[in-house]
Every structure is written in C-alpha cells, then in structure tokens.
Structure 1
Amino acid sequence: MLCSTSKVQIRFAIKKIAKKNFFFNNINDIDIIISNLLKINIYFTELSKIEDFVEYIDSLIIEISKILKKNIIINFILEEDINSKNLTFLILNQINNKSSVKRIIKKEVLKLISKFNGCKVQVSGRLEGVDIARKEWYLFGSIPLHTIRNNIDYFFYEIITQYGVLGIKTWIFKKNYETKT
C-alpha cells in the first residue's frame, strides 16, 4: 500500500503541469484512489480544455507508472456546477483588463445568482493602481459561516499585478444540510 505522500506528490505534479500550461483555473478537483491500480479523477469546467490537457499529461502518466509500477486510469470529468474557484478566476480575468473592481464583482455574482443561496467576494490590495491599499467586497444572500452543517465553498488566490499583490477571497453558500431527528 502506498503512503499518502505519494498521493500528494502525484496531485502536486498534475497541478504543476496544469499551472505551467494555463489549465489550472479550469481544474476543480483531483481525486486519487490507490488500490491494485492507480485511479485519478480530474474534474474540469470546460470540455475544450480537457482535450488540450490530455496532450500534456501523457508524459506524466509514463513517469508515474515507472515509479509506482502500477497501471494508471485517468478519468476526465466535466463539472457544470459553479464553485468558488471558478468565480475567483472569472473575476481575476476581468481585473487584469483594468475595469472597476466593484462593478466586475457585482456583474459576475449577478450572472450566477440562481446557482447558489449566498455569495461573498472580497478583493483586497492596490485596486486599480491607487496608492493606498483597500478592500472591495460584495455580499449577496446569506453566508452562515458559524453553522457547521452548511455547505460553504471557500477559495483564496493571490495575483501579482504591476501595482502590487491583489488577494481575492470567495465564499459560496450552496445549500443547507438537513438534520435528522
């Protein structure tokens, strides 16, 4: 049985290839299941990106199979569901185009309003090249952070701009878990 460090190394290698070849913002999650063979599930947001990513990952499959001496099965799964990582990268791509941050956040959240119960987005740093760093945030619905039974998706990402570092935090409240009585 392989230890968890090999799972971490495999996940890190896949993410490294994804970042190097600009696929990182399209990968939602990576599941690694080790038994007699190695099964890797990679969850994507766009179908076109899956086809491009397959070309880059072939070399990684060969390396992993030599090291672990196991057969490898990789499943590419398309996820239509919005998550905090997708929303963060949607906002980041538009911030790079130097638009008003508050307007971008509002526009992206209002586009996706029907897919979740609540959302909070916070962008902090030297927004729009201003000398003094500040925070802009937008809250829609409710985000019950102190209730454990709620399904809240959180993502944080930093980007380096020509003015400095911007941090983006995204919380999405998807649904309440029902309690059994």
Structure 2
Amino acid sequence: MGQKVNPISFRLQTSKNWNSRWFASKKDFAVWLAEDGKIRDLIEKRFASRPTIANVEIERSANLVTVTIHTAKAGVVIGRGGAGINELKKVIEKVVSLPVRINVEEVRRPELNAKLVAENIAHQLERRANFRRAVKMAIQGSRNAGAKGIRVEVAGRLNGAEMSRREKFIEGSVPLHTLRADVDFYAARALGPNGTGIIGIKVWIYKGERSTK
C-alpha cells in the first residue's frame, strides 16, 4: 500500500503554516470551523470565472476575524475604488458572528503557486484544450519563473477518450520526503466536455530548500 501524505500538512511547523489560525473552546470549535469553510467557498465562488485566488488565510481574535486573500490579480479583488472589497466584506459579515477585516496581498509570481497552476490547467481543459499542450505550457512557465522542479498528474478521460487513464509529467527535482524542501501542492478538478466526466489535476512545485530552524 502506498502511503500518500499531503506535502503541505507533512511540512507543518517546519516550512509551512496553517491557513486558519485560531484557538477555540469545545462549544465554539465546530461553529468557527464551519464559518471558515463558508468564507473560503464564498471567496472561491465569487472569483470562479478565472483562476485568481492563490490562498485564503483566516485569523481570529476575541472581537475580529481577519481574512487575508492572496491573489494574482489584486485589482480584480479590490475593485474600482475599493468597491469590490467592501461588497465582499458585507457578504462575509453575514456568515460570521464577528466584525471582519479583509487584507489583499498580491502574488508576485503566480507560476510558482500550485493552486493557480492547477486551476489554470483545469480552465484550459474545460475549454477543450489538448491536455499535453496545457500541461507542458504550465511546466515551462513555472520553470521560467524559477521553480527547481515541477510534477503534474492528470487523470480521467483525457481528450475525450473512451477509457480513463493517468498521465505524469515531471521536470527537474521534486523531493517529496525532504522536510526542508519548499514544496507547494494542489489538486484541482476540471469538468470534461460533452459529459466525459471529471478530470483530476495534481501539481507539485519545488521552489528550493528552506531552513527549518
């Protein structure tokens, strides 16, 4: 049996951190966890038309919920004159029980973010692009941006084939067992055209080594 471990949870407290950072009592834990899920779903659905959201971090204090949105296109999230961020804040405040503050941070190199790369490939596959071309373009973009290595797996009825299969593409080094290795990972889904089912896309990006001290 293969022991599959998410590369991000494997590195928690060494080179990665939790996306939700708070401490709750037993009675509040389930409520706050559900609220975090609703916040992420709201943000993802709001900008679902194109892959722009790289990560959403949530921090809670006694009287405030701070939501930090990491995005490749800050202008799209903020909106003209901050209108977009104010509207998003009102929507989120209907879900949570505390006042909300939203921070927007721009991702300088989206080609090095596994979520953005995976969703970009998924977006192309839904528009009937050839999966090999979409993956190879994504790999080349990440390598040009400075990735030490990248691994991509796609599985499903690729290019509308009758039988599903799995294809792997690896370029460079991706040391999954090295704790100090900065490896970003994300698994995305694409809806195949003409009812051909779901195509899964997994992306690992190795950016180099971090000090674990």
Match of 2:107 in 1: 79
Match of 1:111 in 2: 141
4+ runs of 1 displaced by more than 6 Å? none
Q: Take 1:141 and 1:104, find their aligned partners in 2: how far apart are those partners?
A: 18
Work out which of the residue numbers 52, 60, 74 in structure 2 matches 1:47.
74
1:68-147 correspondence runs (5 A): 68=98, 71-81=99-109, 82-113=112-143, 114-147=145-178
Q: 1:38 and 2:71 equivalent?
A: no
The letter of the residue matching 1:84 is A
What is the number of equivalent residue pairs in this alignment? 177
Considering Cα pairs closer than 8 Å and 6+ residues apart, tell me whether 1 or 2 has the greater RCO.
2
* 1:148 alignment partner, SS class: coil
Structure 1 spans left out of the alignment, 5+ residues? none
The letter of the residue matching 2:159 is E
Q: CA deviation at 1:55?
A: 5.5
Task: Provide TM-score, normalisation by structure 2.
Answer: 0.73
CA contact under 8 A between 2:126 and 2:190: conserved in structure 1?
A: no
The letter of the residue matching 1:164 is G
Identity %: 25
Q: Take 1:122 and 1:22, find their aligned partners in 2: how far apart are those partners?
A: 25
Task: Provide TM-score, normalisation by structure 1.
Answer: 0.84
Q: 1:170 and 2:203 equivalent?
A: yes
Evaluate the alpha carbon distance shift between residue 7 and residue 43 of structure 1 in structure 2; reply closer, same or farther with a 3 A threshold.
farther
Structure 2 spans left out of the alignment, 5+ residues? 1-22
The letter of the residue matching 1:126 is R
Match of 2:13 in 1: none
Q: CA deviation at 1:4?
A: 4.2
